């Protein structure tokens, strides 16, 4: 797996064995960042939930994010994320939390411009997590939540002011982008 854009473009990232994680392909990562750039979404602060190898957050750092928090509950993934951050020289602009995504949502206190939510496709609880994120103070005004999923579980168009703005399909991967409704 390679970083596809920005200052670390072309850097090869470490990953776990293919059976233990489902890495986001470079084609899908490029498409996501193109969608985010076309939406004029800022990405000063990024949260990468179910981070795996950290490829999405590392891609954001490479493309100009000021800070990325990575969350994964598997110690092996946390170690790989730290190794990948060291490899691209970005250990000072990121933090790795080795805990569940639902726990991280309860204690993180920053406001994020972009949240990547890439749970295992068999996880039916993502709707609850989207609701928790929408009800939290984690999202900056006009923040985007990029949710990766299979088409197994129905999604709502609105999670307490977190509105579905676009949806794309790339093979078996569906990408739903939600945006926080701006407060008046």
In the predicted structure, residue 19 carries a pLDDT above the cut 60 = no
Euclidean distance between CA atoms 163 and 170, whole angstroms: 21
Q: Is residue 95 part of a domain?
A: yes
Q: Among residues 134, 129, 176, which one has the least CA distance to residue 151?
A: 176
Q: Is residue 151 part of a domain?
A: yes
Mean pLDDT of the chain: 88
pLDDT band per the 50, 70, 90 thresholds, residue 143: very high
In this structure, what token pair is assigned to residue 125?
A: 């609880």
The continuous run of DSSP H or E covering 11 comes out as none
Write down the pTM of the prediction.
Answer: 0.91
* Residue, of 153 and 16, whose pLDDT is higher: 16
Euclidean distance between CA atoms 76 and 66, whole angstroms: 25
Q: Is residue 75 part of a domain?
A: yes
The neighbour count for residue 110, using CB atoms within 10 Å, is 12
pLDDT band per the 50, 70, 90 thresholds, residue 40: low
Q: Provide the pLDDT for residue 155.
A: 85
What 3-state DSSP class applies to 66? coil
- Counted residue by residue, the chain has a size of 184
Q: What is the mean pLDDT of residues 6-31?
A: 75
Q: Is residue 4 part of a domain?
A: no
What 3-state DSSP class applies to 180? strand
In the predicted structure, residue 39 carries a pLDDT above the cut 80 = no
The number of domains in the chain is 1
**Pairing, β 158-159 against β 162-170:** antiparallel
Contact (CB, 8 A) for 130 and 117: yes
Percent of the chain with pLDDT over 70: 93
Contact (CB, 8 A) for 143 and 183: no
Q: Is residue 79 part of a domain?
A: yes
CATH of the domain at 161: 3.40.50.150
Question: 147-172, pLDDT tens digit by residue?
Answer: 988 877 778 899 988 999 999 988 88
Which residues have CB under 8 Å from 3's CB, separation 6+? 9, 10, 11, 13, 55, 58, 59, 62, 88
Domain that holds residue 147: 26-180
Question: 83-125, pLDDT tens digit by residue?
Answer: 999 999 999 999 999 999 999 999 999 999 999 999 887 777 7
pLDDT band per the 50, 70, 90 thresholds, residue 18: low
Euclidean distance between CA atoms 165 and 151, whole angstroms: 17
Q: Among residues 55, 52, 58, 105, which one has the least CA distance to residue 78?
A: 52
Q: What are phi and psi of 49, to 5 degrees?
A: -90, 145
């Amino acid at each position: 797996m390679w970083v596809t854009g920005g200052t670390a473009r072309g850097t090869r990232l470490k990953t776990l064995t293919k059976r233990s994680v489902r890495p986001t392909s470079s084609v899908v990562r490029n498409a996501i960042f193109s969608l985010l750039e076309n939406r004029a979404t800022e990405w000063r602060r990024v949260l990468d939930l179910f981070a795996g190898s950290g490829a999405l957050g590392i891609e954001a750092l490479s493309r100009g994010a000021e800070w990325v928090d990575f969350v994964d509950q598997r110690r092996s993934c946390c170690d790989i994320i730290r190794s990948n951050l060291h490899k691209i020289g970005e250990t000072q602009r990121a933090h790795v939390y080795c805990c569940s995504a639902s726990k991280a949502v309860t204690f993180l206190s920053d406001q994020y411009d972009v949240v990547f939510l890439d749970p295992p496709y068999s996880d039916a609880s993502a709707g609850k997590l989207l609701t928790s994120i929408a009800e939290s103070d984690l999202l900056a005004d006009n923040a985007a939540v990029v949710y990766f999923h299979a088409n197994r579980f129905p999604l709502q168009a609105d999670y307490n002011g977190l509105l579905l703005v676009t949806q794309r399909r790339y093979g078996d991967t569906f990408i739903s982008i939600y945006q926080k409704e701006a407060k008046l």
